[in-house]
Amino acid sequence: MQKIIFGLIFALLVVSDVLAQKFGYIDTDYILSKMPDAQKVQGELDAASTKWEKEIKDRQMEIDKMEQDYRAEEVLLTDAMRQERKQSIENKRKEAMDYNKKVYGPEGLLYLKKKELMTPLRDKIFEAVNKVVKTRKLEFMFDKAADLIMIYADPRHDYSDYVLEELGLGDKDDNPNKKK
């Protein structure tokens, strides 16, 4: 009997401790959309991506031209020359695929550029979140924009506007936690 009572008391203490914890969430996508530096970073990423896309397109056009020239001259070439041209075209195609992977692959140039440019912004957000967590005495802070799945989030627990205020980007006329 004592074990059951002790178990119930322990369960009540654990539940009351969990219920007493304060938590909140932010939406980094929303915060980034309000940061002028993030728009500048996006512009730089777009410019770099456009440059790389042009380089890839130019490589493909070169391959297409090589194939077109080969088809036009194929009947005039010896077997050895045909093999050499086919190999040359195949090598160019492989180079183009490797370059595409180098730019847009999982650890490619675009990923590295984005990481390089976004790290200072994410650090600013992280510092602001830490201040908000300490000021508001929160124990947990989630990011709605991250891979964490939130089926429902009560807007009362959205601290994105507080983080924006901490970053100096808050709207003086906007009441935190009263988003559209």
Q: Supply the DSSP string of 131-162, one letter for each residue.
A: HHHHHHT-SEEEETTSS---S---GGGB-HHH
Look up residue 24 and give its two tokens. Answer: 């909140």
Report the pLDDT value the prediction gives residue 53, as an integer from 0 to 100.
97
User: Phi and psi (nearest 5°) for 106?
Assistant: -55, -35
Q: Which residues pair with 143 in a beta bridge?
A: 26
Answering whether pTM is above 0.75, one says no
**What is the C-alpha separation between 72 and 159, in angstroms, rounded?**
66
User: Phi and psi (nearest 5°) for 173?
Assistant: -85, -10
Nearest to 132 by CA among 140, 121, 174, 37: 140
Report the pLDDT value the prediction gives residue 144, as an integer from 0 to 100.
84
Asked whether the predicted pLDDT for residue 16 surpasses 50, the reply is no
Higher pLDDT, residue 53 or 8:
53
Nearest to 25 by CA among 114, 179, 146: 146
Write out pLDDT tens, residues 128-168.
Answer: 988 888 888 888 888 888 776 664 566 777 888 888 888 88
CB contact at 8 A, 56 and 100: yes
Higher pLDDT, residue 176 or 111:
111
Write out pLDDT tens, residues 47-92.
Answer: 999 999 999 999 999 999 999 999 999 999 999 999 999 999 999 9
Asked whether the predicted pLDDT for residue 30 surpasses 70, the reply is yes
